[in-house]
């Protein structure tokens, strides 16, 4: 699972947790050397041979991922699947909170972040604080953990935006306008598929049918005529909120024709389940080494 991939020609988008294009290429060589075949997401359920398969997927469709990785993968015949967020690509764009939070964390001073962190933390119950600490345990910095957790997974979207707005400048919003790759670009690549990764990239909450209506359907409609679109794969953003009824949401996805849901839960897919866990870009070498394959 990839997000942002930077290079010297096209640096990573601000505030992301990128890997360098050189490392991405080395990882592809590692998979190849370990005997994996690069498979298209189109053949998730229709295996064409008995080889070990690897699926290269990326979430959010940032401009660095698209311009750095897709041309190289095209030349090397490596299929990729990109989860698209439709909100930022509309004529009147809306920007995902999670990306505004990334930008905020990268561009504000420590004093500003501490002030925001303290004000957010004061609004959390101890159960909510536990959930935040557990979900974002990979963030060792307290400010980062609380700000991401409270804004992405606890407060309703509108409340989170209110908390965030005083800290965002016009330059921050300008930065958002160049952060996501337009859909036309993907037409140049026959090895690149696209899929539904929501309208606004909010975390799944308690009301799964409202979530389907506001996050899944608009993105589905937005992508439906694109030649690279895979209509039946959904990519779940973030981790679900504590109140989320994930299995009921999966049932609703299936009722509406979705064949699989890609997630950010860590793991290796069993080749059958509706829910597909993935390996984070930062963990690829470690996983291959642990399996004795690299
Ligand atoms: Zn995402």
In terms of Cα–Cα distance, which of 241, 249, 254 is closest to 210?
Answer: 249
pLDDT recorded at residue 170: 87
Which range has the worst mean pLDDT, 21-35, 70-84, 156-170? 156-170
Phi, psi of 33 (to 5 degrees): -65, -30
Alpha carbon of 163 to ligand 1 centroid (Å):
21
Report the separation in Å between the CA atom of 99 and the middle of ligand 1, taken as the mean of its atom positions.
9
User: 237 alpha carbon to ligand 1 midpoint, in Å?
Assistant: 4
Kindly indicate the confidence band of residue 47, based on its pLDDT and cuts at 50, 70 and 90: confident
Rounded CA-CA distance 15/109 in Å is 13
Distance 49 CA to ligand 1 centre (A): 31
**277 pLDDT more than 80:** yes
Q: Distance from the CA of 197 to the center of ligand 1, in angstroms?
A: 7
CB 233 within 8 A of CB 84: no
Distance 58 CA to ligand 1 centre (A): 8
The SS3 assignment for 229 reads strand
Rounded percentage of the chain residues whose pLDDT exceeds 70: 99
Give the Å distance between the CA of 24 and the centre of ligand 1: 19
SS3 207: coil
Using the 8-state DSSP alphabet, how is residue 203 labeled? P
Residues sharing a CB contact under 8 Å with residue 110, sequence separation 6 or more, in sequence order? 143
pLDDT exceeds 90 at position 18: yes
Ligand 1: distance of its center to the CA of 8 in Å?
24
Print burial letters for 213-240: b (CB count within 10 Å at least 16), e (below 16).
Answer: ebbbebbbebbeebebbbebbbbbbbbb
Q: What is the pLDDT of residues 183-233, one digit of tens each?
A: 999 999 999 999 999 999 999 999 999 999 999 999 999 999 999 999 999
Q: If you measure from the C-alpha of residue 280 to the centroid of ligand 1, how many angstroms do you get, rounded to a whole number?
A: 12
pLDDT attached to residue 172: 86
Give the chain's count of helices (H) and strands (E): 12, 10
- Segment 259-272, tens digit of pLDDT: 999 999 999 999 99
pLDDT at residue 96 in the model: 94
- Chain Cα centroid distance, residue 132: 19
For strands 192-196 and 229-235, give the pairing: parallel
Cα of 50 from ligand 1 centre, angstroms: 31
Residue 62 φ then ψ, to 5°: -70, 160
Q: Give the model's pLDDT for residue 151.
A: 95
Q: What is the pLDDT of residue 50?
A: 85
**pLDDT tier, 157 (very low <50, low <70, confident <90, very high otherwise):** confident
| CA 103 to centroid of ligand 1, rounded, Å | 15
CA distance 164 to 119: 11
**What average pLDDT does the chain have?**
95
| 6 Cα–ligand 1 center, Å | 17
Exposed, middle or buried, 122 (CB in 10 Å: 0-12/13-18/19+)? exposed
Task: Tell me the C-alpha distance between 190 and 186, whole Å.
Answer: 8
CA of 63 to the centre of ligand 1 (A): 14
- What would the mean pLDDT of 4-8 be, rounded to a whole number? 98
Least confidently predicted of 63-72, 87-96, 169-178, 180-189:
169-178
Per-residue pLDDT tens for 116-152? Answer: 999 999 999 999 999 999 999 999 999 999 999 999 9
Q: Which two tokens stand for residue 270?
A: 């069993």
């Amino acid at each position: 699972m990839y997000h942002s991939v930077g290079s010297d020609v096209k640096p990573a988008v601000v505030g992301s947790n990128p890997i360098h294009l050189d490392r991405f290429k080395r990882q592809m060589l590692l998979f190849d050397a370990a005997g994996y075949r690069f498979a298209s997401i189109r053949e998730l359920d229709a295996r064409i041979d008995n080889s070990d398969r690897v699926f290269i997927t990326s979430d959010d469709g940032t401009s660095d991922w698209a311009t750095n990785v897709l041309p190289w993968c095209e030349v090397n015949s490596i299929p990729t699947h990109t989860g698209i967020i439709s909100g930022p690509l509309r004529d009147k764009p809306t920007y995902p909170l999670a990306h505004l939070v990334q930008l905020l964390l990268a561009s504000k001073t420590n004093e500003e972040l501490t002030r925001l962190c303290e004000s957010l933390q004061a609004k959390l119950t101890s159960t909510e604080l536990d959930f935040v600490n557990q979900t974002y345990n990979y963030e060792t910095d307290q400010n980062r953990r609380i700000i991401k957790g409270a804004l992405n997974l606890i407060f309703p979207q509108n409340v989170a935006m209110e908390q965030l707005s005083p800290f965002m400048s016009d330059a921050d919003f300008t930065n958002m306008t160049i952060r996501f790759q337009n859909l036309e670009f993907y037409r140049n690549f026959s090895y690149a598929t696209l899929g539904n990764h929501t309208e606004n990239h909010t975390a799944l909450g308690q009301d799964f049918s409202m979530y389907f209506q506001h996050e899944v359907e608009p993105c589905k409609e937005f992508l439906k005529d694109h030649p690279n679109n895979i209509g039946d794969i959904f990519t779940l953003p973030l981790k679900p909120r504590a109140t989320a009824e994930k299995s009921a949401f999966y049932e609703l996805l299936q009722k509406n024709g979705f064949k699989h849901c890609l997630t950010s839960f860590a793991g290796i897919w069993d080749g059958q389940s509706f829910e597909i866990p993935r390996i984070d870009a930062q963990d690829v070498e470690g996983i291959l080494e642990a399996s004795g394959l690299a």
